[in-house]
Structure 1
Amino acid sequence: MSPAMIKEFRLPDLGEGLTESEILSWRVSVGDTVELNQVIAEVETAKAVVELPSPFAGTVAALHEQPGSVVEVGKPIVSFEVDDAGAAPSGEGAAPGGAAGADEPKREATLVGYGAAVEKGGRPARKARTFATPAAAPQEAHPAEAAAAQAAPAAVVPAPETTGERPRSTPPVRKLARDLGVDLTRVPGTGERGLITREDVQRFAAGSTEGAAPAAVRPAGEREIRTPIKGVRKYTAAAMVQSAFTAPHVTEFLTVDVTAAMELLERLKSNRAFAGYKLTPLTLAAKAVLIALKRNPTLNSRWDDAAQEIVQFNYVNLGIAAATPRGLTVPNIKDADTMSLLELSAALSELTDTARAGKTTPEDLSGGTISITNIGVFGIDAGTPILNPGEAAIIALGAVRKAPWVHNDELAVRQVMSLSLSFDHRLVDGEQGSRFLADVGAILSDPGMVLTMV
């Protein structure tokens, strides 16, 4: 038998030089036997929630951090008792950047959750695209409430039988449980296949497993709630401040009659070729943006301050701003300019469902070249969107509304939408930005105009 040894696993850099991550939960306990690349923890970086695989096969000797701890990259988080055969070979399972300890060889391969491998030239390697007919979109998770409910002493509730598996719940529900001091292993799940819901946690915290969840009661003297700034929200705030004070923003507005586009949308929905696909105004607007970019490529570029160069992209990684339980994220669709309308529709559905589930990877959040934010879903008409760092432009889509409009020299009720385009004036002149916005508006007001543009 090979002699046993203790190996430390240090928190790796999970992508783009991030300096810290929060331990959300452990999937193992001290004494558990784990296999190489078995998921041992769930952590939240500044961009996404990722599952952390084990770089060793062996026995968990110690957990150095508790759930909720924010850990700097390079600090030990878990120790394993392994024999010589359990140590990860070079390029397999070892943490990036020497994260498994100084005596471990640097990994070359990419593990689950560690981001994309990089091709020559610094561009992220592309994943093969496969699009199945999407199912109905799942119900959107609600953000976790930070206020803890104060109630009467909890009644004794028998714990459910344990199976050795982690309780099934969503990230917002786990955060709510931490805020309320609830042990999820003791909460019976009433959701599909035993999923623990927000209501299950609230009922358990109030000492009841029956009836509606009680309303939160504010403790005497508590008139404000303080939430630590970390994770996705911390990263988003820093990125927006950097963008707002680095790139000179210019915002232009255009209101267009999109009645023809909405009629096209209805026809497509009844077309058997689009059966099962989720078609929305965002789908058509995204396609319009991609077509307009071919005529106005300066909006698909970035300012390289270090090299003092303007970098124009010959591909489009289309970012879509998504409001998630963990804050605003902007995942992007790689090579969106090569997609058909069907492929784009499927990619948009996959992107939004993944973002709402909190499963967006660092790879999907990096490398964007231009973005869309759909504020219309909140009933908003227009705004001044802030550029995603490293991009030259972002366009906001307003709500589609019925309004009086002059059509064929007569006043009529039409469907209209406002478009708001912000761009980096270092990269994009007013004429270029105006022509791009006018092209997007022309396509949405008369989809047949595409024939004159391509």
Structure 2
Amino acid sequence: MPQVLEFRLPDLGEGLTEAEIVRWLVEVGDVVAIDQPVVEVETAKAMVEVPCPYGGVVTARFGDEGAELPVGAPLLTVAVGSPVESAAGGADADSGTEDSGSGNVLVGYGTGAPPVRRRRVRPEGLKAAVAVSVTSVEAAAQAPAPALVPVPDPAPGPVAVVSPLVRRLARQHDLDLRRLAGSGPDGLILRADVESAIRSAAEAPVPEPAASSSPAGERVALRGVRGAVADKLSRSRREIPDATCWVDADATALMAARAAMNGAAGAGAAKVSVLALLARICTAALARHPELNSTVDQEAREIVRLPQVHLGFAAQTDRGLVVPVVRDAHARTTESIGAEIARLTEAARTGTLKPAELTGGTFTLNNYGVFGVDGSTPIINHPEAAMLGVGRIVPKPWVYEGELAVRQVVQLSLTFDHRVCDGGTAGGFLRYVADCVEQPALLLRSV
């Protein structure tokens, strides 16, 4: 008789607690091999293919495309055992079900079972496997639903809950766990108990309120990328005492240098972008002012100055604002930085950035000039210590060599963590950036 194993949404790392189902890669009845991707999910960081650690026949899927699941929630069930192998026509000889699980989490880790072509078991061959899971589901459905305990004032003390997911689910639905009778051992409150209580509350008649205190209007869930951005920005505002300084700079020489570089590169060569030039200027400025390439260890009350510059840059996508990271930007040339920015930007546009490409930044460059605005006061990308903002480069009247002239002018702003340095250091960094924008030849001193 086959054994039906349940595969739950694994911990995808980077502190992620939930993921949205984008696309199922298998259907009920399909034969899967160990470590074969079965579903594509989207987290707050990136899109990831999740492999199944079991080899066998898919007997059930949990969650429709577009549904959001917490880590630990059931994804699918797989029937593993000889009856399934017979129904599959010996498929497990290729998929390696002798070792029914790998413990794998993400593609590229753990065991490397050989890929198999997607096959589906005939319905009659799947009946034995499905019957096992159906019987258990029916038994669970016939079990009496846990009820809310009518306790007007719950007594203080510990609540019989072990799973943090259960607590989180209760918080999301404003459910008081002290009023809930658990169906687990020794009254342990299970996820099924909370879900049943939520359903009961939803089905109960709601009295007509005298006046609604909630504002009317369209409600948009803060989840995915938007939710992650909201959490990070809120934390930045809570923890970091930030300050902003800004300066206008004459970017005429920088634009001329860019044109000369692109002209000399030839028709087939990649063009050097303004963002790449500004990124190279930032790495030179951080070499002179390393205080701004740091983070703060709040528990130890220490400033941690970082040896490498991992430069993040803000990129607006259909999924929201993301910050891809150019690793070891301090060791790259302008052309290398530009090529990596182009690669990461394309990956951001197509939604294929990996979680590792969105984390670990030490300093962020934010070019909001692409939106047609001159200035801004950026919020620091926690846990970094500073962010350089760049406005649009536009012709403006400017006093140049003692005479009024029309020049290409840009506003630069630096938001910095006042714990890591004072205004003199921040001003020195921003002044050096502005000087390099006005006189790009200054970069030759740091090459």
TM-score, normalization by structure 2 = 0.70
How far apart, CA to CA, are the structure 2 residues paired with 1:431 and 1:289?
17
> Does residue 53 of structure 2 align to residue 43 of structure 1?
no
239, 246, 250: which one pairs with 2:243?
250
What are the ranges of 5 or more consecutive residues in structure 2 without an aligned counterpart? 82-91, 113-117, 120-215
In the TM superposition, what whole-angstrom CA distance separates every residue of 1:42-65 from its partner, at most 9, and x where no partner exists?
Answer: 111122222222223322111022
Is structure 2 residue 224 aligned with structure 1 residue 231?
A: yes
Give the secondary-structure state (helix, strand or coil) at the position aligned to 2:425: helix
Report the alpha carbon displacement of residue 330 of structure 1 after superposing the two structures with TM.
1.0
Query: For 1:62, what is the secondary structure of its paired residue?
Result: strand
What's 2:293 paired with? 300
Q: Does 1:448 align with 2:421?
A: no
2:24 alignment partner in structure 1: 26
1:105-137 alpha-carbon deviations (Å, 9 max, x no partner): xx994699xxxxxxxxxxxxxxxxxxxxxxxxx
Residue equivalent to 1:422:
415
Partner amino acid, structure 2, of 1:86? T
More displaced stretch, 372-381 vs 69-78 = 69-78
Give the secondary structure class of the aligned counterpart of 2:234.
helix
1:245/1:413 CA distance change after superposition, 3 Å? same
Distance (whole Å) between structure 2 residues aligned to residue 413 and residue 402 of structure 1: 6
The corresponding residue for 1:62 is: 60
Q: Of residues 244, 247, 267 in structure 1, which corresponds to 2:260?
A: 267
Contact 2:310 2:329 in 1 (8 A): yes
Q: Residue 260 of structure 1: CA displacement?
A: 0.6
Q: CA deviation at 1:401?
A: 0.4
C-alpha separation in 1, matches of 2:267 and 2:281: 18
- Structure 1 residues 345 and 273, CA, compared in 2 at 3 Å: closer, same or farther? farther
AA at the equivalent of 1:364: E
The residue type paired with residue 232 of structure 2 is A
Map 1:323-338 to 2 at 5 A.
323-338=316-331
Shift in Å at residue 453 of structure 1?
A: 4.2
1:147 — aligned with what?
Answer: none
Match of 1:86 in 2: 97
**CA 1:452 to 1:276, structure 2 compared with 1: closer, same or farther past 3 Å?**
closer
What letter is aligned with 2:443?
V
Which of these two proteins has the greater Rg computed from alpha carbons? Answer: 2
Aligned AA for 1:265?
Answer: R
Hey, what's the Cα distance between the residues in 2 that align with 1:453 and 1:322? 28
Cα deviation, residue 273, structure 1: 6.4
Shift of 1:274: 8.3
CA deviation profile, 1:399-453 (whole Å, cap 9, x unmatched): 0101111111111111111111100001121111111111111111101112344
Letter in 2 for 1:95: V
Change (3 A) 1:272 1:87: farther
Paired residue for 1:160? none
| 2:55 and 2:100 in contact (8 A); partners too | no
Q: Given the alignment, which residue of 358, 379, 382 partners 1:365?
A: 358
Structure 2 counterpart SS, 1:271: helix
Shift of 1:300: 0.3
Match of residue 377 from structure 2: 384
Q: Return the match for 2:303 from 301, 310, 313.
A: 310
Percentage of pairs with the same residue: 40
Q: Does 1:404 align with 2:402?
A: no
CA-to-partner distance for each residue in 1:350-372, whole Å, 9 max, x for gaps? Answer: 11111111111111111110001
Question: What is the CA deviation profile of residues 118-176 of structure 1, one whole-angstrom value per residue up to 9, with x for unaligned ones?
Answer: xxxxxxxxxxxxxxxxxxxxxxxxxxxxxxxxxxxxxxxxxxxxx99xxxxxxxxxxxx
CA distance in 2, matches of 1:15, 1:111: 19
Q: 1:29 to 1:386 in 2, by over 3 A?
A: same
Pairing 1:116-155 to 2, within 5 Å after superposition: none
Give deviations 1:251-300, integer Å, cap 9, x for gaps.
01011001111001111111236843142211110100011110000100
Decide whether the 8 Å contact of 1:56 with 1:87 is kept in 2: no
What is the aligned counterpart of 2:336 among 327, 339, 343? 343
Equivalent residues of 1:268, 1:274 under 8 A apart: no
**Matched position secondary structure for 2:255:** helix
Opposite residue 427 of structure 1, the aligned amino acid is: V
Normalized per residue, the structure richer in helix is 2
Aligned equivalents of 1:296, 1:273: Cα separation in 2: 36
Structure 1 residues 279 and 110: CA distance shift in structure 2, 3 A: farther
Q: Distance in 2 between matches of 1:87 and 1:235?
A: 41
Residue 5 of structure 1 deviates from its aligned partner by: 2.2
* 1:288 maps to 2:281: yes
Distance 1:274 1:318, change over 3 A: farther
- CA distance in 2 between partners of 1:417 and 1:324 (Å): 24
- DSSP-derived class of the 1:67 partner: coil
Report if the CA contact (8 A) 2:8-2:76 is conserved.
yes
Aligned length: 333
Question: CA distance change for structure 1 residues 233 and 111 in 2, over 3 Å: closer, same or farther?
Answer: farther
**CA RMSD of superposed structures (Å):** 2.5
Paired residue type of 1:64: F
Out of 290-299 and 306-315, give the one that drifted further: 306-315
Instruction: Write the distance in 1 (CA, Å) between the matches of 2:311 and 2:267.
Output: 22
User: For 2:390 and 2:287, how far apart are their aligned partners in 1?
Assistant: 20
Contact between 1:392 and 1:428, CA under 8 Å: does it hold in 2? no
The answer on 1:241 being equivalent to 2:234 is yes
Aligned-partner Cα distance in 2 for 1:310–1:89:
48
Bigger shift: residues 306-315 or 32-41: 32-41
Partners of 1:358 and 1:325 in 2: how far apart? Answer: 9
Give the letter aligned to residue 395 of structure 2: K
AA of the residue aligned to 2:73:
K
Report if the CA contact (8 A) 2:54-2:100 is conserved. Answer: no
The Cα offsets for residues 36-94 of structure 1, whole Å up to 9 and x where unpaired, read as 3332211111222222222233221110222222211112111112249427688x562
Matched, 1:95 2:142: no
Q: Give the Å deviation of 1:308.
A: 2.1
Cα distance between partner residues in 2 of 1:453 and 1:412: 31
CA distance in structure 1 between the partners assigned to 2:373 and 2:52 by the alignment: 45
